[in-house]
Amino acid sequence: MNDKIHIGKSIKNKMVEDGRKVSWLAEKLHCDPSNIHKIFKKTDINTTQLLKISLILDFDFFNEYSEFIGNSKKI
């Protein structure tokens, strides 16, 4: 396991998996597509924005952090 979660990559991977375009997410978040590309590069994101993205993509990105915590306790 990596010692840090790269949430931007996780969001991008989920969009690719779902066959979603950057323009689609930008429209849902009411922002420019360039902002979505910036999100993809982020290793962390504020919780309000992550909640919005989780709801839009119908995926619990917070679970990645919960799993990380759970796995860290086993070390």
Give the phi and the psi of residue 70 in degrees, each rounded to 5.
Answer: -60, -40
> Domains in the chain, start-ordered, CATH in brackets?
1-57 (1.10.260)
For 49, how many CA atoms within 13 A lie in the half-sphere containing its CB?
17
Q: What is the pLDDT of residues 21-74, one digit of tens each?
A: 999 999 999 999 999 999 999 999 999 999 999 999 999 999 999 988 888 876
Predicted local distance difference test score (pLDDT) of residue 23: 98
Closest to 15 (Cα-Cα) out of 54, 68, 65: 54
Question: Which residues 6+ apart lie within 8 Å of 73 measured at CB?
Answer: none
Give the phi and the psi of residue 50 in degrees, each rounded to 5.
Answer: -65, -35
Does the predicted model carry a pTM greater than 0.85? Answer: yes
